Amino acid sequence: MKRKSFESEANSAKTPMLEFIEAYNKTIPAGFPRATPEALEQFRITHTVLFKGKAGWSVDKHRKRVMDWLSSYQMNISIHES
């Protein structure tokens, strides 16, 4: 029971971007795009409502949204580079 509580706290805790990137990239499936500081800065700009005040990054609040967003972001980057 304590382990589940610890994991829950860790997932909802606010962390700096680089810690979020490290945790995110370790836990996503192999075929998914990896997070980078540049991509997450753009995510923060695009989704300002998710970052009120000095709120950091949390796995619970941002992971799924970042996963969904990164695929389209990377496709847009590829199109613009062509």
23 vs 21: CA distance, rounded Å: 6
pTM here is 0.74
Q: Which residue has the higher pLDDT, 82 or 30?
A: 30
pLDDT in tens, 33-59: 999 999 999 999 999 888 877 678 988
For residues 16 and 57, the answer to whether their CB atoms sit within 8 Å is yes
End-to-end CA distance of the chain, in Å? 51
Under the banding of pLDDT at 50, 70 and 90, the label for residue 6 is very low
Q: Provide the pLDDT for residue 14.
A: 83
Under the banding of pLDDT at 50, 70 and 90, the label for residue 61 is confident
